């Protein structure tokens, strides 16, 4: 078994992955679809946020993005060409239910129906995320995620989507990264909707978790064939030194980023130390909420990019480690993924884990029709090996997805940061698979060939 010369994986890493392991690529609606005004789509909080001066580094928005709304057949052909098992994508809530309640937009639902059927026709399993941050602006005007009614609007949305598509979705994720929506969206305000208030942020976090639990209950009936879960952005948090102050700061950060989400989902309670720290900013919790949040799920998705190193006195100097740093300024630290997966397995006994996003931004350019993104390829290969290590140490890993299929609108960084394994030239919308895409394809071909040799078409797996 030989991989392309650069970035080989050790043979035992390749052998670690179970036959059922799901390999994929991921995207999200606002970051790629464009067509912001097409076919009756409603406004999302990100449409509104992008118009605030200074909110987005390059002053851009997702109005056009990768024009995926029009170009989806070409994009799904790329997904099929890669040879992945699964494609993780999200639905734009305002595209299918423009006001977030009441009337549905059939043209929007038709788009996702074409997409799902297009995936199945190509032998790729659809992994749908219901909420990858693009809340209908009309709901924001009624208080957004800070308002308890939005919880029920989300459950209705989840049920409506399942009624239309639930028979064909391999997996449904309720939310992508509640910490980001709560903390970056409502505490630091650097993401939509741009609120800066810690008490609001914690109430938002609670409502996101509650709406997840209630939606899971509703989806058990509405989409009985789909696996259900949530996706969290988690990192191992380490203290910058052994000083008591740094240790305390790291414990609190771990509490806010990791335990604040993992404990309610898997133990039905918020961490006591964080509640105490929050004091009057702790969320309002009604009787029954915690049990609802802990509704049993089929999987937990983890998005991993880097570790966190925390000190009491100031910012951690990522560059001082000597490890490479991506274009986002994030330290490349694959060991952190193994450590994180082991810890999640040990502390919360999650039955099935996916890495739902992992990847890196680098400033790629097309040269004579090719993109030589060796650093990205190395990043991915090293993190795949880190997942293999976790498997060998007993962690029940179910899948791994690369972020992202395409270069896209990277939120507050605009189009300047490129995460794709396929390059997008925005003026022409031309797609060029990067060297990392060729590497992943070749890796999958070798990884999957024992599975498929002599077996009927992979399409069968699409509905399994």
Contact yes or no for 277/255 (Cβ under 8 A) = yes
Q: To 10 degrees, the CA torsion angle through 317, 321, 326, 330?
A: -50
Query: Rounded to the nearest whole angstrom, what is the least distance from the CB of residue 417 to ligand FCB in the complex?
Result: 8
According to DSSP, the β-strands at 308-310 and 237-239 are parallel
Q: What is the nearest approach in angstroms of ligand FCB to the Cβ of residue 407?
A: 11
Residues in contact with ligand FCB by CB under 6 A are 28, 31, 176-177, 180, 233, 303, 357, 403, 410-411, 419
Judged by beta carbon, residue 177 or residue 378, the one nearer ligand FCB is 177
Token representation of residue 242: 């052994």
Tell me if residue 284 is catalytic: no
Where helices occur in 228-373 by DSSP H, the ranges are 244-254, 260-267, 272-278, 289-293, 335-348
Task: Output 234 or 238, the one with its CB closest to ligand FCB.
Answer: 234
Q: What is the closest distance, in whole angstroms, from the C-beta atom of residue 28 to ligand FCB in the complex?
A: 5
**Cβ 230 to ligand FCB shortest distance, Å:** 13
User: What CA–CA distance (Å, rounded) separates 229 from 344?
Assistant: 15
Of residues 239 and 301, the one with the C-beta less far from ligand FCB: 301
Distance CA 360, CA 88 (A): 17
Instruction: Indicate the residue among 295 and 302 with the shorter CB distance to ligand FCB.
Output: 302
Comparing CB distances to ligand FCB, the nearer of 226 and 235 is 235
**Active-site position among 43, 187, 331, 357:** 357
Torsion, Cα of 128, 294, 207, 30 (10° steps): -10
For residue 210, give the 3-state DSSP assignment. helix
Tokens linked to 76: 């799904």
SS3 content of the chain, % helix, strand, coil (to 5): 45, 15, 40
Q: What are residue 126's DSSP bridge partners?
A: 87
Considering the complex, what minimum distance in angstroms separates the CB of residue 339 from ligand FCB? 19
Is 177 annotated in the active site? yes
Q: At 126, which helix (H) or strand (E)?
A: strand 125-131
Active site residues: 177, 357
């Amino acid at each position: 078994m030989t991989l392309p010369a650069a970035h080989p994986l050790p043979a035992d890493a390749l052998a670690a992955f179970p036959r059922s392991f799901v390999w994929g690529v991921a995207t999200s609606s606002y970051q790629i679809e464009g067509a912001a005004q097409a076919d009756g789509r409603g406004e999302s909080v990100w449409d509104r946020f992008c118009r605030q001066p200074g909110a987005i580094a390059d002053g851009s928005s997702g109005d056009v993005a990768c024009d995926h709304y029009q170009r989806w057949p070409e994009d799904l052909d790329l997904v099929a060409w890669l040879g992945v098992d699964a494609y993780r994508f999200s639905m734009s809530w305002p595209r299918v239910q423009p006001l977030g309640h009441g009337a549905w937009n059939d043209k929007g639902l038709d788009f996702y129906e074409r997409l799902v059927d297009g995936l199945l026709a190509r032998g790729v399993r659809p992994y749908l995320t219901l909420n990858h941050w693009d809340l209908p602006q009309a709901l924001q005007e009624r208080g957004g995620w800070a308002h308890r009614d939005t919880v029920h609007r989300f459950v209705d949305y989840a049920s409506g989507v399942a009624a239309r598509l639930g028979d064909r979705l391999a997996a449904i994720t309720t939310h992508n990264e509640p910490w980001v929506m709560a903390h970056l969206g409502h505490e630091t305000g650097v993401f939509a909707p741009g609120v800066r208030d810690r008490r609001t942020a914690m109430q938002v976090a609670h409502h996101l978790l509650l709406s997840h639990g209630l939606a899971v209950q509703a989806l058990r009936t509405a989409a009985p064939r789909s696996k259900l879960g949530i996706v969290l952005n988690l990192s191992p948090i380490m203290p910058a030194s052994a000083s008591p102050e740094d240790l305390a700061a790291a414990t609190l950060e771990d509490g806010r980023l990791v335990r604040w989400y993992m404990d309610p989902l898997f133990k039905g309670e918020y961490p006591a130390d964080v509640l105490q720290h929050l004091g009057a900013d702790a969320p309002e919790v009604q009787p029954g909420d915690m049990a609802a949040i802990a509704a049993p799920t089929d999987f937990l998705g983890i998005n991993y990019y880097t570790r966190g190193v925390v000190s009491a006195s100031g910012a951690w100097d990522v560059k001082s480690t000597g490890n490479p740093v991506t274009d986002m300024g994030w330290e490349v630290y694959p060991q952190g993924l193994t450590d994180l997966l082991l810890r999640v397995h040990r502390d919360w006994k999650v039955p099935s884990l996916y890495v739902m996003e992992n990847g890196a931004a680098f400033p790629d350019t097309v040269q004579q029709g090719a993109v030589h993104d060796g650093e990205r390829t190395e990043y991915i290969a090293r993190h795949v090996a880190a997942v293999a290590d976790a498997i060998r140490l007993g962690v029940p890993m179910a899948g791994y997805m690369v972020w992202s299929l395409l270069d896209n609108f990277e939120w507050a960084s605009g189009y300047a940061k490129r995460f794709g394994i396929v390059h997008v030239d925005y003026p022409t919308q031309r797609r060029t698979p990067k060297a990392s895409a060729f590497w992943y394809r070749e890796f999958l071909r070798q990884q999957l060939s024992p599975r498929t040799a002599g077996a009927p078409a992979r399409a069968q797996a699409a509905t399994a």
